[in-house]
Structure 1
Amino acid sequence: MLDWIITNSWVFWLAMFLLLAIIEIVTLDLFFIMLSAGALAALFGGLLGGPFWAQVVIFCVVSLLMILFVRPVALRHLNRGPADLRTNVERLIGETAMTLEAVTDNSGTVKIGGDTWTARSSDGSQIPAGQRVQVARIDGATAVVAPVGGAFKDNEVGEA
């Protein structure tokens, strides 16, 4: 079996390329596609008649270089996007909210966009009820808020 793989190494690398590409399609983490690129480079090494040990070295080197240099850049580009495309709780960061009850460093509630959230103060200060706050981050199901000054007017309560 090993003799056949060494003799027909291009078939082995083609199968590895396809298998790794299929795994990438399932996982979508840009890791297996980098290995797949290494298998593709080794495939060309096999088609050019290189010895099997050299093809393995090509696979390892190209895969490692792709993982170290290409994957981080690709992930940065994929994760970058305009703020209006933020989803889930990410879209709440920076929003204005109203405190429904006093918010301390370990308890409180706020109203963010019509929803009531448990909250805590980002700087440990106590924020009284009815105050305007800004969402600094979301920790699980708790909004971490910071005061932005001023109380809400009665007609603004429904907008927060």
Structure 2
Amino acid sequence: MDSWVWWLLVAVGLGIPLVITVLPEFGLFALGAVGAAIAAGVGADVVWQFVTFLVVSVSMLVVVRPIAYRKLDRGPQIRMGIEALRGARATVQERVDQHGGRIKLNGEVWSARTLHPDRVYEPGQQVDVVEIQGATALVD
């Protein structure tokens, strides 16, 4: 059997733990094995095949791996809980002033206070939720 076939078998063998463990490093080593198979296919001797495998694998680890992990870390930021309520629009249900009131926020009635003591919002007005303090929304 030609050596390029062996390298392709090594690439497939490295692909199996990639699928099982979901560690991208195995895929990078599999690409190194594919590079060695290409080198073997063009007639490189065994030493150059191993050098190609090492150079491609290490360069993939050095260059591609950090980029991939940075992309994974920057996944979509999903705001949940109280964080999701900041900046939301609400409708005043009962007069809201510095002492209190009620708003309808995401289909629920919340107690609310104004962020600025001199402001007053009447029922039906739209307000923005600036902050949540306990079970009270500060609105502006």
TM interval, shorter chain, is 0.5 to 0.7
- Render the CA deviation track for 1:115-134: whole Å, top value 9, x for unaligned: xxxxxxxxxxxxxxxxxxxx
- Paired residue secondary structure (2:44): coil
TM-aligned CA distance change 1:60 to 1:151, over 3 Å: closer
Alpha-carbon distance between aligned partners in 2 of 1:80 and 1:150, rounded to the nearest angstrom = 26
In 1, the alpha carbon distance for the partners of 2:82 and 2:37 equals 47
1:57 to 2:51 alignment: yes
The alignment's C-alpha RMSD in Å is 2.8
State the structure with more CA Rg. 2
Pairing partner for 1:69 from 55, 60, 63:
63
Could you say which residue in structure 1 is the equivalent of 2:13? 19
> Mind listing any 5+ residue stretches in structure 2 that lack a counterpart?
86-130
Residue 130 of structure 1 is matched in structure 2 by: none
CA distance in 2, matches of 1:52, 1:71: 27
Post-superposition Cα deviations, 1:89-144, rounded to whole Å, max 9, x if no partner, equal xx569689xxxxxxxxxxxxxxxxxxxxxxxxxxxxxxxxxxxxxxxxxxxxxxxx
1:83 and 2:83 aligned = no
The match for 1:37 among 12, 31, 40 is 31
> What SS is found at the alignment partner of 1:50?
coil
Give how far 1:78 is off.
2.4
Q: Which residue of 1 aligns with 2:111?
A: none
**What's the offset of the Cα at 1:152?**
4.0
Offset of 1:76 from its aligned partner? 1.3
Partner secondary structure for residue 83 of structure 1: coil
Give the structure-2-normalised TM-score. 0.56
Q: What is the aligned length?
A: 92
Q: Deviations over 1:64-97 (max 9, x none)?
A: 000011011012112322212x7xxxx569689x
